[in-house]
């Protein structure tokens, strides 16, 4: 099957969507780290934070981590959906010989592709929150 110009544009847009979503995962993780750093800076540089203020900062750290993990997971789902669409398009565009020559392989579960990176990014979100809460609790001790 020869791919039309419109088909080529649509296929390229689907591939670009994958790259966009991957970048969004990294951007979210970077923002999480920046928010954690801002909370840590407040804790270190504001004199005499009350226990209530430290508790609020800890709650903010937990909420940030939960939102970040949720967004990372949502994007992973979107990546899986985009990969399913690409696989369907590739099934129509390429025959078995072309797929082999181009190294295009089918994935049983496109939603789990890149899952190790997702786990690493979630680990950054969770570890950052835990480290920040530990710092807040440590400084609250008499």
3-state percent helix, strand, coil for the chain, nearest multiple of 5: 85, 0, 15
pLDDT at res. 1: 59
24-69, pLDDT tens digit by residue? Answer: 999 999 999 999 999 999 888 887 888 888 899 999 999 999 999 9
Average pLDDT over residues 127-135: 92
Total domains in the chain come to 1
Instruction: Provide the 8-state DSSP code for 103.
Output: T
Task: Find the domain containing 99 and state its range.
Answer: 5-140
Give residues with Cβ within 8 angstroms of 59, minimum separation 6: none
pLDDT at res. 21: 95
CB 107 within 8 A of CB 87: yes
pTM score? 0.82
CB 25 within 8 A of CB 47: no
pLDDT at res. 5: 81
């Amino acid at each position: 099957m020869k791919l039309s110009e419109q088909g080529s544009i649509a296929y390229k847009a689907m591939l670009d969507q994958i790259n966009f979503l991957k970048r969004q995962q990294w951007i979210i993780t970077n923002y999480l780290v920046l928010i954690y750093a801002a909370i840590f800076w407040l804790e270190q540089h504001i004199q005499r934070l009350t226990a209530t203020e430290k508790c609020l900062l800890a709650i903010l750290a937990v909420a940030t981590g939960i939102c970040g993990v949720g967004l990372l997971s949502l994007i992973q789902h979107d990546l899986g959906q985009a990969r399913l669409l690409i696989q369907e398009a590739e099934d129509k565009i390429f025959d078995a010989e072309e797929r082999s020559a181009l190294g295009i392989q089918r994935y049983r579960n496109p939603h789990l592709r890149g899952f190790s990176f997702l786990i690493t990014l979630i680990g950054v979100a969770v570890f950052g929150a835990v480290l920040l809460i530990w710092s807040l609790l440590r400084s609250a001790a008499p």
